[in-house]
């Protein structure tokens, strides 16, 4: 889908976690052009570290869309230096979570502005403007929601599970502290109710760790369902494996089959269409949801753009048949 010329206000909303989701967000941004993409980002991974408010997924998406991200690591800034961490280590400070010298500035500014009374939405919009983005970047909520991972070694805050313990402990459950009293971000709700919304894309982020925190916020799931725009999910499972990160490991530990069917089931009540990888095409018969098989691996910029075009074309077709 290219945005129809007569509808210069048409918008696409992407729901996104960190690294994997940000790749598709970049493809959508480049395909749609300036002014047409809004990304609602998971903030369940946010935490206060060394006195600083860190919003890893917001920063990953912002740096990726701005072309400033480190493509090897997937998080943080390209060309980063680590003098602060080295000095911190010499003083016996906490070094399990790496904050690069340049990235540090983002956390300092965010922390300062939040302390001065700005909302996370305002701070994030400021970051997007400073990075020269022509996409709207919205936190899923301005209220704190924190992902907690129950493991056989006890309950861990998300970053302790993910970074400090390298996703090693066996997961027994996942919860989202604060979600029950959090409100969806205002502009996300407004966009979902807006007739200019052409598609809602659930990026191939971890459904359990990165998308569920959003769906746990009262009202957001309902607003997604009520939106006139088709909701398309892109599978994070390719050939029965996760492309990156702990998605497959967590599915096994939670007793789920590592399959596109389990992902489709997870989103079943919410989505109008499902995109899966060619490698899983044989498993897609009888899925019960309109689906398209394509290459979903996003190794190159061309891959990101091609997948974005497939998603948008699929959405346009579904819209015509609604």
**Residue 69, both tokens:** 């991200």
- Considering only 14, 17, 37, 141, the residue that binds ligand FO1 (CB under 6 A) is 17
Q: Which residues pair with 53 in a beta bridge?
A: 48
Q: Sign of the CA dihedral 308, 283, 225, 319?
A: positive
Secondary structure (3-state) at 4: coil
- 140: Cβ–Cβ under 8 A, 6 or more apart, which residues? 15, 40, 41, 42, 43, 44, 184, 185, 188, 213, 214, 217, 220
> Torsion-angle region of residue 119: left (phi > 0), alpha (psi -120 to 50) or beta?
beta
Distance CA(150)–CA(174), nearest Å, equals 6
Q: Which of 321, 303, 314 is nearest to 26 (CA)?
A: 303
- Considering only 19, 40, 179, 217, the residue that binds ligand FO1 (CB under 6 A) is 19
Closer Cβ to ligand FO1, 197 or 234, answer by number: 234
Q: Is 314 in the site for ligand FO1 (CB under 6 A)?
A: no
Q: Is 29 in the site for ligand FO1 (CB under 6 A)?
A: no
- Considering only 75, 161, 176, 274, the residue that binds ligand FO1 (CB under 6 A) is 75
**Residue 48, both tokens:** 């206060």
- Considering only 99, 202, 216, 251, the residue that binds ligand FO1 (CB under 6 A) is 99
Closer Cβ to ligand FO1, 1 or 26, answer by number: 26
Interactions with ligand FO1, residue window 142-161 (CB under 6 A): 159
Q: 152-160 long-range CB contacts below 8 Å, 24 or more apart?
A: 157/47, 158/44, 158/45, 158/47, 158/209, 159/45, 159/47, 159/49, 159/54, 159/56, 159/97
Closer Cβ to ligand FO1, 27 or 246, answer by number: 246
Q: Is 163 in the site for ligand FO1 (CB under 6 A)?
A: yes
- Considering only 15, 18, 149, 197, the residue that binds ligand FO1 (CB under 6 A) is 18
**Site stretch for ligand FO1 (CB under 6 A), options 52-60, 120-128, 298-306, 308-316:** 52-60
Q: Is 212 in the site for ligand FO1 (CB under 6 A)?
A: no
Secondary structure (3-state) at 271: coil
Minimum separation from the CB atom of position 103 to ligand FO1 (A): 6
User: Which residue has the CB atom at the shortest distance from ligand FO1?
Assistant: 18
DSSP state string for 150-172: EETTEEEEHHIIIIISTT-SPEE
Minimum separation from the CB atom of position 22 to ligand FO1 (A): 9
Q: Is 22 in the site for ligand FO1 (CB under 6 A)?
A: no
**Site stretch for ligand FO1 (CB under 6 A), options 13-21, 147-155, 169-177, 188-196:** 13-21
Q: Is 97 in the site for ligand FO1 (CB under 6 A)?
A: yes
Q: Is 59 in the site for ligand FO1 (CB under 6 A)?
A: yes
Interface with ligand FO1 by CB under 6 A: which residues?
17-19, 45, 54, 56-57, 59-60, 75-76, 97-99, 103, 159, 162-163
């Amino acid at each position: 889908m290219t945005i129809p010329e007569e509808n210069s206000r048409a918008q696409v909303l992407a729901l996104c976690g960190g690294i994997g989701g940000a790749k598709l967000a970049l493809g959508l941004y480049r395909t749609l052009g300036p002014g047409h993409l809004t990304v609602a980002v998971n903030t369940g991974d946010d935490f206060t570290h060394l006195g600083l408010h860190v919003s890893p997924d917001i920063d990953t998406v912002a740096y990726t869309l701005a072309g400033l991200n480190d493509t090897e690591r997937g998080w943080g800034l390209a060309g980063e230096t680590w003098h602060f961490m080295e000095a911190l280590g010499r003083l016996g400070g906490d070094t399990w979570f790496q904050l690069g010298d340049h990235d540090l500035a983002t956390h300092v500014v965010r922390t300062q502005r939040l302390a001065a009374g700005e909302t996370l939405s305002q701070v994030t919009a400021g970051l997007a403007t400073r990075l020269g983005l022509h996409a709207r970047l919205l936190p899923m909520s301005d209220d704190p929601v924190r992902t907690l991972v129950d493991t056989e070694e006890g309950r861990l805050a998300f970053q302790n599970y993910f970074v400090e313990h390298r996703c090693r402990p066996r997961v027994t459950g996942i919860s989202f502290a604060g979600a029950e009293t959090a409100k969806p971000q205002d502009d996300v709700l407004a966009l979902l109710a807006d007739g200019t919304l052409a598609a809602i894309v659930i990026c191939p982020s971890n459904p359990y760790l990165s998308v569920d925190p959003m769906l746990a916020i009262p009202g957001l799931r309902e607003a997604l369902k009520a939106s006139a725009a088709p909701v398309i999910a892109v599978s994070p499972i390719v050939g029965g494996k996760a492309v990156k990160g702990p998605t497959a490991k967590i599915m096994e530990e939670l007793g789920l089959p590592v399959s596109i069917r389990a992902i489709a089931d997870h989103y079943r009540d919410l989505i109008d269409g499902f995109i899966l990888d060619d490698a899983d095409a044989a498993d897609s018969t009888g899925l019960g949801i309109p689906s398209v098989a394509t290459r979903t691996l996003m190794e190159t910029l061309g891959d990101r753009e091609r997948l974005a075009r497939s998603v948008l074309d699929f959405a346009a077709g579904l819209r015509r048949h609604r």
